[in-house]
Amino acid sequence: MDKISCSVVKDLLPLYIDGVLTEESCKLVKSHIDGCPACKVQYEKMKDISSSVKERMASKEKVVIKKIRNKIKLKRWLGICVTALLVIAIALGTFYGVVHKQGYLAYADTGLYVENDKLCTDKSYYCYYGFDSPEEGTLFIYMTTTFYESHNENQKTIIVDDFSFALDTDNPDVKQVYYISEEYVKSLKSGSYFVSAGSETDYIANNQSKIEELKKNSTLVWSSEQ
């Protein structure tokens, strides 16, 4: 077997330690180390340094891998949380849309009728709203429904117990009740339909044309003269 010099062995030691030399070269280096105390000492030192470096690199790799795994776990949990929140939001939105989202209830679908001076309905509805007007004795009303209520059966419900008084008004003597058409509901709710004035007389006079317009575009539900 050919012999190699110490200088060549020192150059080959890193490759020998890393195990990347050919089988023949490994045999030459090993043979030289076994017979050369100086190169063997150098080999042991380099081997210890290499082992230490490998351990540190392995430790760093473990830290990096752990961080990557933690990030993946965090993203996974965030994805689960976001998905859960979306599902809850969709569920709540659906629940609100089905049970609580109000829509105008057309007069033909209200089932309103008057019985013994009581305003009643045999249809299901969500809410009833009343507006007094500048004209004494006149009450304007409308009702709302939801998807749930529109598919719900209902027994007789008394909406107004006594026409001698009306909900949300100080008017002591209601003489006629009108059901408002949808196009006028928004204006009445915002309080922008009737124009305010100084005295009660001026208030009624200034809004007389609007009262007549509203009556014309509403449905008479009940009148004391009927």
Three-state DSSP state, 155: coil
Encode the chain (226 residues) as per-residue pLDDT tens digits.
Answer: 457 888 888 888 888 888 888 888 888 888 888 888 888 888 888 877 766 666 677 677 777 777 888 888 888 888 899 999 999 999 888 888 888 888 999 999 888 888 777 788 888 888 888 887 788 788 889 999 888 887 777 666 766 655 554 434 444 567 888 999 998 888 888 777 887 777 777 878 888 888 899 999 999 988 877 6
Tell me, yes or no, if the pTM score tops 0.85.
no
pLDDT score of 165: 46
pLDDT score of 131: 81
| CA 22 from centroid of its chain's CA atoms | 65
Helix H segments across 96-146?
none
Locate tokens 């006149």: which residue?
A: 138
pLDDT score of 157: 73
Locate tokens 């009262």: which residue?
A: 211
One-letter amino acid identity for 170? Answer: D
Helix H segments across 154-224?
182-190, 200-206, 208-216
pLDDT score of 179: 94
pLDDT score of 220: 92
Mean model confidence pLDDT for the chain: 81
Q: Is the dihedral of CA 162, 166, 170, 171 positive or negative?
A: negative
